[in-house]
């Protein structure tokens, strides 16, 4: 039986076992996918002993994505671009790393807003952490001419812009509403909007009516940001689709089947989100 896991600290909240468990059952695969609570000081040891622990690979979540990237023997282009890894697998005795957050976000954006066009205006990104790096990489690859980054701590946005070059421009956090009015896409990558974590205070008046507003937060499913955008008639893209799509490449690597993100799977996750408080 092939076994994979998700590691994080804490890990209890992770919904990855629900996703991979659904696919294992659906495709009749004799496999398992479990949660492993791994403390920061134990990550390196854990990842170097994946084979002895009888795992073919794992997902990596907060706060271990950068450590996983550093420890891997081989890093694919997606991981190198983001300098963080969320998907690991053993191949030829080596630990391989990828970052599937970029893929997850872009796939879901294309599904949820198929007429979204990368060249129809700047894309605005709130936040400058690891998730922002993954999304900015995807947007630049998709052909967005200008990405504007708004971050509470401006210096962090400036470091991020240096990685990506002149197409990424830094703006003050206070200008996040005024400075996004001509955007074709606005994405929240910060934890604000997560239940109990404050609000972003975005004002969508005067926004380009074709702007798509996306949030990577999926608890609640409709964040305050998305509700405000919807009330203004803007198209919205929730964070759950990114979670579902980012899981696809890992499952294929570990279990040999490219799984489908189905309405049934999404409904299972929605029920879980609505039934839990975190």
65 given a catalytic annotation: yes
Q: Rule CB under 6 A: is residue 128 a binding residue for ligand ATR? A: yes
Tokens of 10: 């804490």
Query: What b/e string do you get for 9-40 counting C-beta neighbours within 10 Å, with b at 16 or more?
Result: bebeebbbbebbebbbeeeebebbbebbebee
Alpha-helix residue ranges (DSSP H) falling in the chain: 16-26, 43-48, 65-71, 77-82, 101-112, 130-141, 154-164, 224-231, 240-246, 248-255, 263-275
Tokens coding 183 = 């955007």
Q: For the chain, how many residues are written?
A: 278
Are 34 and 7 within 8 A, CB to CB?
no
Cβ distance to ligand ATR smaller for residue 2 or 156: 156
Q: Report which residue's Cβ sits closest to ligand ATR.
A: 129
Biggest CA pair distance of the chain: 58
Give me the 26-65 binding string for ligand ATR, x by CB under 6 A, dash otherwise.
----------------------------------------
Q: Which of residues 147-176 bind ligand ATR (CB under 6 A)?
A: 151-153, 156
Please state the closest distance from residue 149 (CB atom) to ligand ATR, in A: 9
Q: Using CB under 6 A, which residues numbered 86 to 115 contact ligand ATR?
A: none
Given the residues 2, 25, 65, 117, the one annotated as active site:
65
Among 104, 121, 130, 138, binds ligand ATR (CB under 6 A): 130
Pick out residues in 189-228 that bind ligand ATR (CB under 6 A): 189-192, 197-198
Which residues are near ligand ATR by CB under 6 A?
A: 127-132, 151-153, 156, 189-192, 197-198
């Amino acid at each position: 039986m092939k076994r994979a896991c998700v590691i994080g600290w804490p890990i209890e909240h992770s919904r990855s076992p629900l996703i991979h468990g659904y696919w294992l059952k659906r495709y009749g695969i004799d496999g398992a996918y479990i949660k492993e609570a791994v403390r920061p000081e134990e990550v390196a040891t854990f990842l170097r002993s994946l084979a002895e622990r009888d795992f073919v690979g794992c997902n990596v979540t907060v706060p271990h994505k950068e450590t996983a990237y550093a420890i891997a023997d081989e890093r694919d282009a997606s991981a190198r671009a983001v300098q963080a890894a969320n998907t690991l697998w053993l191949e030829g005795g080596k630990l391989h790393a990828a970052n599937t957050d970029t893929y997850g976000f872009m796939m879901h954006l294309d599904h949820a807003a198929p007429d979204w066009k990368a060249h129809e205006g700047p894309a605005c990104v709130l936040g400058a952490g690891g998730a922002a790096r993954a999304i900015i990489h995807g947007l630049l690859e998709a052909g967005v001419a200008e990405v504007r980054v708004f971050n509470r701590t401006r210096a962090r946005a400036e470091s991020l812009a240096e990685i990506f070059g002149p197409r990424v421009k830094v703006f003050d956090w206070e200008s996040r509403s005024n400075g996004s009015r001509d955007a074709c896409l606005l994405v929240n990558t910060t934890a604000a909007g997560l239940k109990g974590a404050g609000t972003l205070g975005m004002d969508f008046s005067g926004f380009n009516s074709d702007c798509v507003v996306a949030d990577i937060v999926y608890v609640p499913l409709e964040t305050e940001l998305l509700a405000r955008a919807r009330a203004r008639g803007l198209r919205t893209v929730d964070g759950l689709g990114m979670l579902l799509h980012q899981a696809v490449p890992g499952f294929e690597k570990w279990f040999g089947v490219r799984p489908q993100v189905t309405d049934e799977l999404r409904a299972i996750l929605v029920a879980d989100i609505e039934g839990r408080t975190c």
